[in-house]
Structure formats: C-alpha cells, structure tokens
Amino acid sequence: MIDVQKILDLKHGESVIVSHSPCDDCGVAEIWYIHDTYLLFSIPMFGGQPIYEDDYRWHRINEMVEKIESWS
C-alpha cells in the first residue's frame, strides 16, 4: 500500500521513492513535486535511469497511485 500522505507532504523541489509495500527492496516509482505538479517516473526493475511516465495535480493523486499499484 502506497502512503499517499508522504506524497501530499512533498514541498517544491522534493521527491520520494515509493514501493508497493514497506518490505520491497527497491522502489517502483519516483515522484517529484515541482510547481504544484507531481511528476511520476517509473524505476526500471533491472537498473537504469527512471523513466518519465506522466504528471498529475493534487486532485488526481488517487489516479497516480492506482497507476503505480498496477505496475508489478
């Protein structure tokens, strides 16, 4: 389960790496908060640079979380 409050608590220029559960060894997504917009990046399973996926405003946070949770 993704901690939505962690995402909402981001301040301008901050980022957070999220995973499906606290026991995951690595994250599945990196989220940056820039100019009132959350930028979503997927983290490749076998390494490499995060890949830009989409951007979201606060009112679409649940949509973003659903997208992350759909990744396995």
pTM over 0.75: yes
Count of structural domains, the chain: 1
The pLDDT score that the predictor gives to residue 19 is 84
* Residue 20 Cα distances to 11, 13, 34, 35, angstroms: 22, 23, 23, 26
Nearest CA-CA partner of 18 in 52, 55, 45, 43: 43
User: What strands, in cross-sheet order, belong to the sheet with 15-18?
Assistant: 15-18, 29-34, 37-42, 51-56
pLDDT in tens, the chain (72 residues): 788 999 999 999 999 999 865 555 567 999 999 999 999 999 988 878 999 999 999 999 999 999 999 986
